[in-house]
Amino acid sequence: MLFDISPKEKQSTDFNFDVQRHSAGFISSQNDYLSKYLKEIETDHDVIHFTSNGRFALHDLIIFYAKKIGLCNVIVSSFNISVEASNKILKAWNQGAFSSFAMILNSQKKHNFIKSVRILENKIPMKFIPVHAKVAILWNDAHYITIVSSGNLSSNGNTERGFIFFDKHTFDFDYQWMHKIIYTTK
């Protein structure tokens, strides 16, 4: 079978792509630390790309940014949660870092992290559904932050990869599905 590969007349299109360029920062060196590279919310970047090199986890990023932006709301989804993460979140909660905090956790693995859940139950809303997304949203009147990561709410020596977005458009996208699960799903 032969294909005609001769040049064709360019076809017109009735649609247009609205492409936005984002300024990005990259953090991946073995010497990178949260306190060194993620100092200020007011960065020149709309998105920060990161690898953790086993130095920090999703809950560390949540607590780090909550301290930076002040009292805030948080919704996070994760495949699992460790006792260490639960204790760190509870400590930040007790110190007044969050005005609200809610979690979406994987229902199929709940038996693996029941001790972690018990630390936070009766303190924050939790929903258990089949979820693999590792996303956290933080917001208050001045800031909208979205963290998308390969890492769960657990510390390990693994290198995790992710993005931190500071724009309301990305935040709104994740807020819609996360808020719906937490506050309307039975």
pTM score of the predicted model: 0.79
**What per-residue confidence (pLDDT) applies to 52?**
80
Average pLDDT of the residues in 72-91: 95
Tokens matching residue 181: 């699960």
User: Per-residue DSSP letters for 121-165?
Assistant: TTTS-EEEES----EEEEE-SS-EEEEEES--BS--SS--EEEEE
pLDDT band at 1 (very low <50, low <70, confident <90, very high): very low
CA 27 to chain centre: 16
Residues 6+ apart with CB under 8 A from 2: none
pLDDT band at 26 (very low <50, low <70, confident <90, very high): low
**What per-residue confidence (pLDDT) applies to 7?**
47
- Domain 56-184 class, CATH top level: alpha beta
Residue 42's region, left for phi above 0, alpha for psi from -120 to 50, else beta, is beta
**Among 17-21, 50-54, 59-63, the range of highest mean pLDDT:** 59-63
pLDDT band at 169 (very low <50, low <70, confident <90, very high): very high
Average pLDDT of the residues in 165-175: 93
Looking at per-residue pLDDT, the higher value among 142 and 50 belongs to: 142
**What per-residue confidence (pLDDT) applies to 92?**
96
For 116-125, how does the pLDDT look when each residue is reduced to its tens digit (9 = 90+)? 889 998 899 9
